[in-house]
Amino acid sequence: MAPRLTLAETQAFLGDLVRRADSLGSNCDTDLHACVFAVVAGNERLTPLEQAEIYREQFWLRHRDSLEEDFPALAQFLGADAFQSFARAYLAAVPPSSWTLRDLGLALPQFADGHDGFAEGSATIARELARFDLGFITVFDAAAAPPVDAAKVAAIAEEAWAGARIVLQPGLALFTFKHAIHEFRSAVRQGEDPQPKSIDARPVRLALYRGTDLRVHQAELTVAEHALLVALREGAPLSAACERALLAADNENRMPGADSLDPGEVEAKLGGWFAAWAARGWVTDVVTSP
Amino acid sequence: MTKTDTQRPARLGLPDLGCGIGFRIPHYAHVFDTKPAVDFLEIISENFMVDGGLPLKNLDRALADWRVVQHGVSLGIGASTPLDWDYLRRLKALTRHTGTPWLTDHLCWTRVPGADLHDLMPLPYTEEAVHHVAERVRIVQDFLELRVGLENTSSYLTYRASTLSEWEFVSAIATEGDCGILLDVNNVYVSAYNHGFDAYTYLEALPHERIVQIHLAGHTNKGAYILDTHSDFVVDRVWELYRHVISRVGDVTTLVEWDADIPEFDTLWGEAKKAAAIRDAVRAESHGA
């Protein structure tokens, strides 16, 4: 007679059992079957294996469905079968560890970066979609700081702006992609059935932010505006951030086939950008040196 | 001197809030626009344990017009892993925000070292598990400074190690842990079907004064077993069990859950009104007797 398991041992055994990839009925491991029969009682209608299988099946269904809900564009892009395989691989490699399903996909983009099971030619887009889908999750309920005080901004002396640090909303997410995946995702969310081949191989810079309606919105940014925001996010003073934006615009101009960008774009547009950022709630503070 | 259970007030002295419904996203717009006279709303705690955004805004709108009761799914009171203090701190902050009169979660385990199963895993009905859960629920109640009600879950497996019936197990934990019971009548029906026991025996055996809230829901009959899906109307046999409970326990806060294939708001509210009508009928019968 097998020794009786403690509560902790029982839970550890079942925890492993329900996370097994293959159905228990199809498993031919007689030792495993014996262990299940030693722990689970079964009844007249269901064997111990069948009882345990209910939980195993629900584990995979629940988490796969949750990932599909959180990564709608990636799921559409890969197709049902490929997404299911990918989700299973992810869940096997990165077991759910948080008390909230909201966190289930936090490590999915990182996993996708190292995943070699994508169809040929699709890995880059899949990885970009994984990052972008996750952005919607994290921005949706991110902590928010109050928007910048307009009176405080108005009181900043002109000469203080060069060294000012513009503090951005923590929930503002910035992305650089090689494909216009945001258009594909928008189509998915609108209930359309976009095909992977419709994704434009056009480099894009994107922002995700929570609007005043508290819903997540996306905005396409120019190279310079994106570079400026990234620099500000990293804590650069405004003058240094503008230099980085100019450099980025200049580098973009050197790219074959790039649209012509005016190197003076940053200075000319800075005021307008700042006003737009403030209106969207992206700016939470402007810190000037004493 | 400690009061015996039979001397305890009904519902452990907690109020009867009437008949409410689960506060679910598809109904938000309708609820906010029409402000239905539903007695209270029940939220899933974890859906609002976030840092900001729309969930908290919607919660505040609900709090402005309704009593809100918190129900959770991730406490994992029966798990052998240590209590998750980060989770509990967030939970406590939310209870302070909502002013929930009590907190409920499930009598189950949800996690093992290194993994959270996000499922309501059944416990073996043993003395070891009774002591384990009772100690943890006392700690949680002390920390939250709130009465906790543990919900009997639907289950699909039983353990060879069990030495107690489910009702003995639930009763022992409630008594030893000095906690409330969230009696899910549908779950009693589901587990009675799945494991072949008599639902009325179960209901009779519970310490009635510890029942602080009742849940009702629909389920899906798979033939060999019933799955607790919260996806349909409450079935007649569950209504009969509910009437029986109310006749024995008196008016207890009652909540109708519907979490999948969610219908129009008025359909769900109709189920809550049906529960209220049963309470009224039982009360009238007892007064006429």
Q: Residue B88's domain is classified under what CATH number? A: 3.20.20.150
Question: Would you say A261 and A275 are in contact if contact means Cβ atoms under 8 Å apart?
Answer: no
Over the stretch B138-154, which tens digit does the pLDDT of each residue have?
999 999 999 999 999 99
Q: Which two tokens stand for residue B203?
A: 């209901």
Number of domains in chain B: 1
Element (H, E) at B67: strand B67-71
Give the position of tokens 């409630």: B174
Q: Which two tokens stand for residue B164?
A: 């107690």
Chain B closest-CA separation from residue A85 CA (Å): 19
- Helix, strand, coil in percent for chain B, rounding step 5: 45, 20, 35
Of A5, A7, A101, the CB nearest to B118: A101
Chain B closest-CA separation from residue A271 CA (Å): 28
Q: Which residue, among B57, B46, B26, has the nearest Cα to B259 in the 3D structure?
A: B26
Per-residue pLDDT averaged across B168-180, rounded? 98
Q: Which two tokens stand for residue A99?
A: 């008390």
Element (H, E) at B237: helix B236-249
Confidence class for position B8, pLDDT limits 50, 70, 90: confident
Q: What is the rounded CA–CA span in Å between residue A36 and residue A25?
A: 11
Which residues of chain A make contact with B231, given a CB cutoff of 8 A?
A: none
Which residues face A165 on adjacent strands? A287
Per-residue pLDDT averaged across B114-119, rounded? 97
Which residues of chain A make contact with B224, given a CB cutoff of 8 A?
A: 45-46, 50
Q: Which residue, among A272, A221, A227, A220, has the nearest Cα to A246 in the 3D structure?
A: A227
Over the stretch B198-220, which tens digit does the pLDDT of each residue have?
999 999 999 999 999 999 999 99
Please give the DSSP secondary-structure letter assigned to residue B44. E
User: CB atoms < 10 A from the CB of A21, how many?
Assistant: 11
- What percentage of chain B has pLDDT greater than the value 90? 95
Would you call A283 helix, strand, or coil by DSSP? Answer: strand
Q: What is the rounded CA–CA span in Å between residue B227 and residue B218?
A: 9
Question: Domain residue spans in chain A?
Answer: 150-290
Residue B289: per-residue pLDDT: 65
* Length reported for chain A: 290
Q: What is the rounded CA–CA span in Å between residue A73 and residue A62?
A: 19
Q: Which residue, among A138, A151, A146, has the nearest Cα to A169 in the 3D structure?
A: A146
- Give me the domain span that covers residue B282: 5-288
B175 pLDDT above the threshold of 90: yes
Q: What is the rounded CA–CA span in Å between residue A103 and residue B50?
A: 11
Which residues of chain B make contact with A52, given a CB cutoff of 8 A?
A: 157
Q: Do B80 and A11 touch (CB under 8 A)?
A: yes
Q: What is the rounded CA–CA span in Å between residue A122 and residue A87?
A: 16
Q: Do A54 and B50 touch (CB under 8 A)?
A: no
Q: Which residue, among A36, A25, A122, A49, has the nearest Cα to A83 in the 3D structure?
A: A122
Please give the DSSP secondary-structure letter assigned to residue A158. G
E strands present in chain B: 19-22, 40-44, 67-71, 103-106, 109-112, 115-121, 148-151, 180-184, 211-217, 220-221, 226-227, 254-257
Q: Where are the alpha helices (DSSP H) in chain A?
A: 7-18, 30-39, 48-70, 72-78, 80-93, 108-114, 123-140, 150-154, 181-189, 223-233, 238-254, 265-279
* Length reported for chain B: 289
Give the position of tokens 């919105």: A217
B88 pLDDT above the threshold of 60: yes
Q: Do B54 and A4 touch (CB under 8 A)?
A: no
Residue A253: per-residue pLDDT: 65
Confidence class for position B288, pLDDT limits 50, 70, 90: confident
- 3-state DSSP of B86-133: HHHHHHHHHHHHHCCCCEEEECCEEEECCEEEEEEECCCCCHHHHHHH
B45 lies within 8 A of chain A by CB:
no
Q: What is the rounded CA–CA span in Å between residue A262 and residue B130?
A: 73
Q: Which two tokens stand for residue B199?
A: 């639902």
For residue B86, give Cα distances in angstroms to B89, B90, B114, B121: 5, 6, 16, 22
Q: Which two tokens stand for residue B116?
A: 């959270």
Low-confidence ranges of chain A (pLDDT < 50): 1
The amino acid at B39: D
Q: Do B160 and A41 touch (CB under 8 A)?
A: yes
Which residues of chain A make contact with B50, given a CB cutoff of 8 A?
A: 102, 141
- 3-state DSSP of A196-236: HHHCCCCCEEEEEEECCCCCEEEEEECHHHHHHHHHHHCCC
Q: What is the rounded CA–CA span in Å between residue B24 and residue B213?
A: 19
Residue B1: per-residue pLDDT: 37
Q: Burial of B33 by CB count in 10 Å (0-12 exposed, 13-18 middle, 19+ buried)?
A: exposed
Q: Do A97 and B113 touch (CB under 8 A)?
A: no
